Structure 1
């Protein structure tokens, strides 16, 4: 007879933990929209992106355009961060406005399918680092993040996985191309519902991005420009997302069932000031972002001390470290995962 109150008390306490934190956050006004901040940020980011392409045309045929490629690779990633915010309804409350912003920043300007990304990213947010439910740790990718998965690989694939920590940063330069390819596959396999709308915008981006360099530069310069741009974009994107969850310990069934602990225990914050906030697009506040995905980006830094204090009071492990240490942890985890079990 005593089993019933014991099993029901745990879920009730779990719900009250997140509800209590959520009330604190809302009472502090941290879920309120920041239209002025986003208006300025969108205008500045898109303006810089457009200025980069204008400079590309003005400079013309020159190997100095590789510097332009680096600049535009960084600007493209910043545009992608805004698409990320739109996907979480951080900018607009309505789904339609968020969708339109996502199409422009994702499909048209970056060349990524907004519909595919939202589907994939929402599944990641629901169960971060879950071997079966989080697509970001799927064993189908080039890297393995779950211990024991290497036993299912053989030949060259197993060899590359064994040394995946060494290949990690070099292979991030291909991440941009992988994202473009995944977007196209999603259009073809029906993952994206608005196929013609998204496909048209992706086609405009692809044609413009491939055609314009060949119209302005020599063929060799054009190939080099596209390669450098995509390498910088992929590397920047990978470095922005990689330190957030990779290498965090697996959860118990009880922790997985608890929304607050599921999000906090699998996430890692990156310390830093306004420069880090800008460079990582607010993703350095990964704990707060996962707890409150629709919280506007500029409010995350104000939520951080409240969440950290709440977790300390509840005895929930809250991880925050430097960027360098986070990458070190990721590489160590990749090396551990790549080590076959002793038989």
Structure 2
């Protein structure tokens, strides 16, 4: 099952009735004009950031340029996300080729590996056994995971709420390491193309840094850039599910409730939509992952009112409140380890 298959309505279900309302409102239709404009603006930001880097040259003023480039990388990554969901092109082949160029070549993120991981997340969000985003690799997400935690997860889990944002500074590097590790999997499609494009990204990226900057400044630039990139992505994705119910094998929920009850919307204006790529409307995105991100805001009142008519809790709050809830959850699930 691919990411774009997840919004097929189940005939006669609560979700099917909601899906008909959304379809009648025209919110599942493609938005080529919007994406043409967005792709143009993101491409200009990406190319412009590198142009500023070249013009500034050997100077410590490159530090704010590193922050600007981190924003550009994050926006390119959000475009890759929309490509994976089939929001931009109906053609899977076109989407895959564009995803390889945008993900692997532009930002050094394996498109195939991430798409597989993200598909499993969408199928079972916040599920202890099936969602790779809540696997207890470093952080733990439930009391059950705390009780069985070993090694690094057990050590970090005690104080993970305090370590969460510092750890996000490593997320950019972690994504690249995970992308290269995924090349060893026989199940990864287009491994040769994925590998060649990832290597090309690293060579061009490192070459540009060390060609323009002396080694010391180049290393500082790299650390600042990757740290800000990781924090940006973490602050985009973490508010969506962290602190929401974590499901186990005992929880039997239909598609609508499984997606809504484990997701949280982040309220804000159009600027927040741009900054988070529309993922602040996480409930609508999980129900209709193929919906163009620009339509998610319009779908929100329909979904919210429908959930309330069913008595299904619809969670939303501000950006800082969402971070606070996620951190409180992390601190709470780590309590057994602190007592031990």
TM-score by length of 2: 0.93
SS at match of 2:155: helix
Shift of 1:188: 1.6
Shift of 1:58: 1.3
Cα distance in structure 1, aligned partners of 2:20 and 2:154: 48
Q: Structure 1 stretches of 5 or more lacking a match?
A: 1-12
SS at match of 1:148: helix
8 A contact 1:14–1:258 mirrored in 2: no
Matching of residues 81-100 of structure 1 within 5 Å: 81-100=78-97
Partner in structure 2 of residue 105 of structure 1: 102
Shift of 1:59: 1.2
Matching of residues 5-44 of structure 1 within 5 Å: 15-44=12-41
Partner in structure 2 of residue 7 of structure 1: none
Partner in structure 1 of residue 173 of structure 2: 177
Cα distance in structure 2, aligned partners of 1:150 and 1:290: 27
1:201-224 Cα deviation digits (max 9, x unpaired): 111111111111111011110000
Cα distance in structure 2, aligned partners of 1:23 and 1:289: 16
**1:75 aligned to which of 72, 77, 80:** 72
1:63 equivalenced with 2:60 (yes/no)? yes
1:149 equivalenced with 2:145 (yes/no)? yes
Partner in structure 1 of residue 288 of structure 2: 292
**1:339 aligned to which of 324, 329, 335:** 335
Structure 1 residues 58, 192: CA separation in 2 closer, same or farther (over 3 Å shift)? same
Shift of 1:155: 6.1
Partner in structure 1 of residue 267 of structure 2: 271
1:294-334 Cα deviation digits (max 9, x unpaired): 00010000000000000011111000101111111100110
Cα distance in structure 2, aligned partners of 1:232 and 1:148: 32
Q: Structure 2 stretches of 5 or more lacking a match?
A: 1-9
Partner in structure 2 of residue 126 of structure 1: 123
Partner in structure 1 of residue 154 of structure 2: 158
Matching of residues 112-261 of structure 1 within 5 Å: 112-139=109-136, 141-154=137-150, 157-251=153-247, 256-261=252-257
Cα distance in structure 2, aligned partners of 1:159 and 1:48: 40
Shift of 1:339: 1.1
- Superposed structure 1 runs of 4+ greater than 4 Å apart: 154-157, 251-255
Cα distance in structure 1, aligned partners of 2:21 and 2:279: 21
